[in-house]
Amino acid sequence: MAHGDTSRLIRLGTRSSPLAMAQSGHVARDLETATGLTSELIPIRVEGDDHTMAMDGASRPGIFASALRDALVSGEVDYIVHSYKDLPSTPMNGADLVAVPPRVNPRDVLAGTSLTLDELAKGAKIGTSSPRRASALKRLRNDLEIVPIRGNVDTRLRKVATGEVDAVIMAYAGLERLGVLDESWQVFDPDQMLPAPAQGALAIECGMGDQELRSALATLDHGPTLLETIAERMVLCGVEATCTTAIGALATWEGRTLTLTAELSDHLYVGYARVTQALEIPDVPGDSEMLAASLGNHVARQLLGQEEGKK
- Residues tagged active-site: 86
Amino acid identity, residue 274?
R
**CA-based nearest residue to 247, from 230, 225, 267, 276:** 267
User: For residues 53 and 7, what is the distance between their CA atoms, to the nearest angstrom?
Assistant: 42
Beta bridge pairs of residue 96 = 206
**CA-based nearest residue to 13, from 165, 218, 204:** 204
Q: Are 23 and 101 in contact (CB under 8 A)?
A: no
User: Between β-strands 202-206 and 96-99, what pairing exists: parallel, antiparallel or unpaired?
Assistant: antiparallel
Three-state secondary structure of the chain = CCCCCCCCEEEEEEECCHHHHHHHHHHHHHHHHHHCCEEEEEEECCHHHCCCCCCCCCCCCCCCCHHHHHHHHCCCCCEEEEEHHHCCCCCECCEEEEECCCCCCCCEEEECCCCCHHHCCCCCEEECCCHHHHHHHHHHCCCCEEECCCCCHHHHHHHHHCCCCCEEEEEHHHHHHHCCCCCCCEECCCCCCCCCCCCCCEEEEECCCCHHHHHHHHCCCCHHHHHHHHHHHHHHHHCCCCCCCEEEEEEEEECCEEEEEEEEEEECCEEEEEEEEEEECCCCCCCHHHHHHHHHHHHHHHHCCCHHHHC
